[in-house]
Amino acid sequence: MIRVILPHHLRTLAQVRGEVGLDLEGPATQRSVLDALEARYPMLRGTIRDQVTLQRRPFLRFFACEEDLSHEPPDAPLPDAVASGAEPFVVLGAIAGG
Amino acid sequence: MSQVRVLVGTRKGAFILTADGKRQQWDVSGPHFAGWEMYHLKGSPVDPNRIYASQTSGWYGQIIQRSDDGGKTWIQPGTPPGEPPAPGPPKAASNKFVYDTSAETGKPLTTHQFYDGTQHPWEFKRVWHLEPSLTDPDTVYAGIEDAAIFRSTDGGENWHELPGLRGHGTGPKWQPGAGGMCLHTIILDPSSRTPETQRMWIAISAAGAFRTDDGGKTWEPINRGLYSQYIPNPTAEIGHCVHHIAMNPKRPGVLFMQKHWHVMRSDDAGDNWTKISGNLPTDFGFVIDVHAHEPETIYVVPIKSDGEHFVHEGKLRVYRSRTGGNEWEALTKGLPQSNCYVNVLRDAMAVDSLDKCGIYFGTTGGQVYVSGDAGDCWAPIVRDLPGVLSVEVQTLP
């Protein structure tokens, strides 16, 4: 199971508490994780990725295992620790403005 | 006894303020959608308990919310009634605003003018204004940034652009104002008899005012008489930074405009504009509104200048003209008259339709004021909200 940590506002929007657990059928990549997340919580469509281009929104970043994965290709495999559920995939809002 | 419900959008959530017709004792509900920018909330004239809201964020994008019980509960349109939050609205179509690039437009636009004069792609950023239909609670218009008008006919679940506006010819010359290239004003003509002949006026910063007489299929610029010293041709057909337009629905076609600088009026549905700034201490500002029962009584809140977006001389003064402009009186009773440096943004003034017309406005300092006597005396409903982006009022039986 993939563990995903969402920022506060998106947890509120999706009405979830704590981490989200997702079961993936194929390899764990940014795209497959976000596809599964949006399939389970459609209200998150457009909030992390643009609905049309599927590009990451500019003020959001992706982290895992203390690494910034924001600029990795969307189909690149995520670290084994994320795929195994040992470490979470973190969606983080930039600390800018307020 | 009648009631009023004031819908307040702020930089950090929405608030709903309710009172009876005396407008003295207020209940405050909120924050709704805490932490999000609530650009605009507006109720349907047909079904007042149906309220549409624009919830937005520079981080997380655009969400449309709808209430069918007067703001007690909210859903993203498309969510089945009574369903748990997941699975949620089908594919979150209610959040999806996609510019029309079909052949229907004849010449799909791909760019507009940017601040530096170069061409720039159209990019959806947020919904500034929601205007529910006067006849159908499921139909609502959205004014968006980058400037375009969208319509939903299914209660906000799906949105489609009215592409004739961007496609009518001047679109590539539109450019953003300081707040972005936003379509912020939508006015529906109540005398239009069918959706196909619905007359509408819209305004864009900084392109100007536009009108359709066929339900949004075709549009024309209506900026004759505007003079803007800050553009290369001060009397150009487009390029004017119109801040807001107001109309008394009992007198369609008589329009009042607060432009970047200058207060204007038109008596011919926008074909021609004349300046009515008269004795105002400054004619820069954002809001303008019209008394519900006296169509020649109008209100503005002058702001010091384009470089200093706060009220003049540290005094919060609403100016009222009972003569349709040119002759203005300062309304100060109950408003701070020293050390006040707030602004009142373009959608942050509204009027109710009670016998003694109530006037409401919100400030960037988080105060929402009410006058229950057409502006003679003012009192704060709330003093310490986040900065106010919009104020609308519903008069309820």
More confident residue, B105 or A27: A27
- Report the b/e string of B143-177 with b at 16+ CB within 10 A: bbbbbbbbbbeebbbbbebbbbbbbbebbeebbbb
**Contact check, Cβ <8 Å, B61/A13:** no
C-alpha span between B242 and B262 (Å, rounded):
10
C-alpha span between A25 and B293 (Å, rounded):
64
Question: Which residues have C-beta within 8 Å of that of residue A25, sequence separation ≥ 6?
Answer: none
Banded model confidence at residue B110, pLDDT cuts 50, 70, 90: confident
What average pLDDT does range B208-222 have in this prediction?
97
* Residue with token string 């470490």: A87
From residue B342, give the alpha-carbon distance in Å to each of A6, B283, B379. 36, 16, 16
C-alpha span between B152 and B132 (Å, rounded):
9
Q: Is the pLDDT confidence value at B72 over 80?
A: yes
Q: Which residues of B touch A94 (CB under 8 A)?
A: 59
CA-based nearest residue in chain B for residue A44 = B92
Q: Which residues of A touch B76 (CB under 8 A)?
A: 43
Domains of chain A with CATH codes: 2-93 (3.10.20.30)
What average pLDDT does range B105-115 have in this prediction?
76
Q: B-contacting residues of A 57-76, CB under 8 Å?
A: 57, 59-60
Task: Answer whether B80 touches A (CB < 8 Å).
Answer: no
Q: Which residues of B touch A13 (CB under 8 A)?
A: 60, 63
pLDDT digits (tens, 9 = 90+) for A36-70: 999 999 999 999 999 989 999 999 999 999 999 99
**Contact check, Cβ <8 Å, A42/B61:** no
Q: Is the pLDDT confidence value at A97 over 80?
A: no
Question: Which residues have C-beta within 8 Å of that of residue B391, sequence separation ≥ 6?
Answer: B6, B7, B8, B9, B347, B348, B349, B350, B360, B361, B362, B368
In 10 A of CB B32, how many CB atoms?
A: 23
Task: Answer whether A35 touches B (CB < 8 Å).
Answer: no
Q: Is the pLDDT confidence value at B81 over 90?
A: no
Task: Answer whether A44 touches B (CB < 8 Å).
Answer: yes
Average pLDDT, chain B: 95
Considering only CB atoms, B76 lies closest to which of A9, A43, A52, namely A43
Q: What is the pLDDT of residue B12?
A: 97
Nearest to B260 by CA among B175, B144, B141: B175
Q: What is the pLDDT of residue B230?
A: 86
* Region class of A15: left (phi > 0), else alpha (psi between -120 and 50), else beta: left
Q: Are the beta carbons of B273 and B264 closer than 8 angstroms? A: yes
CA–centroid distance for B242 within its chain: 12
**Contact check, Cβ <8 Å, A46/B92:** yes
Q: What is the pLDDT of residue B357?
A: 97
What average pLDDT does range B129-151 have in this prediction?
97
CA-based nearest residue in chain A for residue B74 = A13
What average pLDDT does range B62-66 have in this prediction?
96
Beta bridge partners of A68: A63
pLDDT digits (tens, 9 = 90+) for B239-267: 999 999 999 999 999 999 999 999 999 99
* Residue with token string 């006067």: B134
Task: Answer whether A54 touches B (CB < 8 Å).
Answer: no
**Contact check, Cβ <8 Å, B35/A9:** yes
Q: What is the pLDDT of residue B108?
A: 62
Which of B59, B76, B144 is the best substitution to test chain A (most A C-beta atoms within 10 A)?
B59
Q: Residues of chain B with pLDDT > 90: what percent?
A: 88
Q: Which residues of B touch A12 (CB under 8 A)?
A: 34-35
CA-based nearest residue in chain A for residue B60 = A47
Question: Which residues have C-beta within 8 Å of that of residue B12, sequence separation ≥ 6?
Answer: B31, B34, B35, B36, B37, B386
DSSP E strands in B114-219: the ranges are: 119-121, 126-132, 140-145, 148-152, 160-161, 182-188, 200-205, 208-212
CA-based nearest residue in chain B for residue A61 = B59
Q: What is the ipTM of this complex?
A: 0.89
Q: Which residues of A touch B96 (CB under 8 A)?
A: 45-46, 51-52
**Angle, alpha carbons B382-B356-B362 (nearest 5°):** 25
C-alpha span between B128 and B144 (Å, rounded):
5
Q: Which residues of A touch B91 (CB under 8 A)?
A: 42, 45
